[in-house]
Structure 1
Amino acid sequence: MTGNEEPGTDERTADKPEGAISAAILAAGVGATALGIVTVLAAASTSAAGWLQWSAAVGPLSGKTTVAVLCWLVSWALLHVALRNRPTETRPALTIALILIGLGVLGTFPSFFELFAVE
């Protein structure tokens, strides 16, 4: 250390961009939110629920989880390409991801998605 670095940093971590880490964190939030959205959508629309039923044994859950995983993977790839070399901080990405995960979890609670259920 030359004495000019911030405390807690050394040569191994001083100049490494954290964009790839932020991309992975944000993608987790996107995937969780996607699951909440398709869960509410399946409750709100019988045609959406029918479209999401990719396996008769599992029901619409098979489509919900597959769509959520695809959203997670696609968003991770796109965010990784966009942020990989950026010196972004992971703290804002974590805050955004926690909000997105909270929204996704909310969408999967029966007392919430049943508010949108078609009769």
Structure 2
Amino acid sequence: MTLREHEPQSGALPNGAAAAAILAAAIGCFIIGLMTLGAEMSEGLANALKWYPPAGPLSGKTGVGVITWLIAWAVLHNLWKDRDVDFRAVRIGAAILLLLGFLLTFPLIFQAFA
């Protein structure tokens, strides 16, 4: 995905911080989906994701997703906070990542790889 960056017009607020938050959230959702699929495919990963035993691997799946979201948000925010980025590209990228993340958490999808 190529993002066109340019300095914001005078008086207009840059959209980079908002774009960073949106894309970071989508990245976090996608990682939760990947962890769900990975835990189904690998017993070793499922065991590694059992951070809180009563919750099973769900605690690790969401934990990794939240950690990834926070890191992605911090990095993207620092890169884009004073810039205007192509919001259309961010929207499309975020929509694709969200769709994939949601699909990977559906039992029919992740159980097909078990």
The answer, yes or no, to whether TM exceeds 0.5 is: yes
Structure 2 stretches lacking a partner, 5+ long: 1-9
CA RMSD of aligned residues (A): 1.2
Structure 1 stretches lacking a partner, 5+ long: 1-12
**2:4 matched residue in structure 1:** none
SS in 2 for 1:34: helix
Per-residue CA deviations over 1:47-96 (Å, capped at 9, x if unaligned) read 00000011111000010000000011110000000111111132321221
1:61 and 2:55 correspond? no
User: After TM superposition, what 4+ stretches of structure 1 lie above 3 angstroms from structure 2?
Assistant: none
- Rg bigger for which structure? 1
1:40 and 2:37 correspond? yes
**2:71 matched residue in structure 1:** 74
Amino acid at match of 1:22: A
1:8-47 equivalences under 5 Å are: 14-47=11-44
In the TM superposition, residue 14 of structure 1 has moved relative to its aligned partner by: 4.0
User: For this pair of structures, how many residues does the alignment match?
Assistant: 105
1:50 and 2:47 correspond? yes
TM-score normalised by the chain length of structure 2? 0.87
TM-score normalised by the chain length of structure 1? 0.84
